[in-house]
Amino acid sequence: MSQLVNQYTPHGVCSRGITFEVVEGRLHDVRFIAGCPGNLLAIGNLLEEMRVEEAVQRLKGIRCDNKPTSCADQLAIALEQYQTQNAGK
Protein backbone atom coordinates (compact mmCIF):
# COMPACT_ATOMS: atom_id res chain seq x y z
CA MET A 1 0.00 0.00 0.00
CA SER A 2 1.71 3.17 -1.20
CA GLN A 3 1.61 6.47 0.65
CA LEU A 4 1.48 9.82 -1.09
CA VAL A 5 4.75 11.55 -1.85
CA ASN A 6 5.87 13.32 1.30
CA GLN A 7 7.45 16.76 1.00
CA TYR A 8 9.67 18.58 3.46
CA THR A 9 11.40 21.95 3.33
CA PRO A 10 14.81 21.64 5.00
CA HIS A 11 16.34 24.42 7.10
CA GLY A 12 19.96 25.53 7.39
CA VAL A 13 21.27 23.51 4.42
CA CYS A 14 21.82 23.97 0.68
CA SER A 15 19.00 21.64 -0.32
CA ARG A 16 15.67 23.39 -0.89
CA GLY A 17 13.39 20.40 -0.62
CA ILE A 18 13.16 16.70 0.14
CA THR A 19 10.58 14.25 -1.18
CA PHE A 20 10.13 10.60 -0.30
CA GLU A 21 7.60 7.80 -0.22
CA VAL A 22 7.02 5.22 2.48
CA VAL A 23 5.55 1.86 1.53
CA GLU A 24 4.89 -0.60 4.34
CA GLY A 25 7.37 1.19 6.61
CA ARG A 26 10.18 1.32 4.03
CA LEU A 27 11.65 4.30 2.18
CA HIS A 28 11.36 4.72 -1.55
CA ASP A 29 12.28 7.41 -4.04
CA VAL A 30 14.14 9.76 -1.67
CA ARG A 31 15.01 12.90 -3.62
CA PHE A 32 16.65 16.18 -2.70
CA ILE A 33 16.05 19.42 -4.59
CA ALA A 34 19.32 21.37 -4.98
CA GLY A 35 22.32 20.76 -2.75
CA CYS A 36 25.29 18.49 -3.55
CA PRO A 37 23.82 16.34 -6.35
CA GLY A 38 26.20 13.38 -6.24
CA ASN A 39 26.13 12.97 -2.46
CA LEU A 40 22.39 13.43 -2.22
CA LEU A 41 21.68 11.01 -5.04
CA ALA A 42 23.89 8.48 -3.25
CA ILE A 43 21.97 8.97 0.01
CA GLY A 44 18.68 8.34 -1.78
CA ASN A 45 20.03 5.19 -3.43
CA LEU A 46 21.48 3.84 -0.18
CA LEU A 47 18.19 4.40 1.67
CA GLU A 48 16.00 2.63 -0.90
CA GLU A 49 13.95 -0.07 0.87
CA MET A 50 15.41 0.85 4.31
CA ARG A 51 13.02 0.91 7.25
CA VAL A 52 12.16 4.46 8.30
CA GLU A 53 13.32 3.85 11.88
CA GLU A 54 16.74 2.64 10.74
CA ALA A 55 17.20 5.62 8.41
CA VAL A 56 16.41 8.04 11.26
CA GLN A 57 18.86 6.24 13.54
CA ARG A 58 21.65 6.38 10.94
CA LEU A 59 21.11 9.98 9.76
CA LYS A 60 20.05 11.94 12.84
CA GLY A 61 22.69 14.31 14.17
CA ILE A 62 25.00 14.28 11.13
CA ARG A 63 26.47 17.74 10.65
CA CYS A 64 27.77 19.46 7.53
CA ASP A 65 30.97 21.41 8.07
CA ASN A 66 30.34 24.05 10.76
CA LYS A 67 26.56 23.89 10.42
CA PRO A 68 24.50 22.38 13.23
CA THR A 69 22.68 20.16 10.70
CA SER A 70 23.07 18.56 7.26
CA CYS A 71 20.85 17.38 4.42
CA ALA A 72 20.97 13.89 5.94
CA ASP A 73 19.98 15.24 9.37
CA GLN A 74 17.17 17.24 7.76
CA LEU A 75 15.89 14.05 6.14
CA ALA A 76 15.91 12.37 9.57
CA ILE A 77 13.82 15.28 10.90
CA ALA A 78 11.40 14.92 7.98
CA LEU A 79 11.11 11.18 8.66
CA GLU A 80 10.47 11.76 12.36
CA GLN A 81 7.69 14.19 11.43
CA TYR A 82 6.29 11.58 9.07
CA GLN A 83 6.32 8.99 11.87
CA THR A 84 4.55 11.37 14.27
CA GLN A 85 1.88 12.28 11.72
CA ASN A 86 1.27 8.62 10.80
CA ALA A 87 1.46 7.04 14.25
CA GLY A 88 -1.39 4.63 14.76
CA LYS A 89 -2.45 4.56 11.10
Percentage of residues in the chain having pLDDT higher than 70: 97
**Average pLDDT, integer, range 67-83:** 97
Cα 41 to the chain's mean position, in Å?
12
61 CA to centre of own chain: 13
Residue 87 has pLDDT above 90, yes or no: no
Query: Residue 2: pLDDT above 60?
Result: no
Compute the CA torsion angle 61, 53, 6, 37 (nearest 10 deg).
Answer: 50
Q: How confident is the model at residue 3 (pLDDT cuts 50, 70, 90)?
A: low
d(CA 37, CA 50): 21
Q: What is the reported pLDDT for 88?
A: 77
Which of residues 88 and 11 earns the better pLDDT score?
11
Q: What is the pLDDT of residue 1?
A: 46
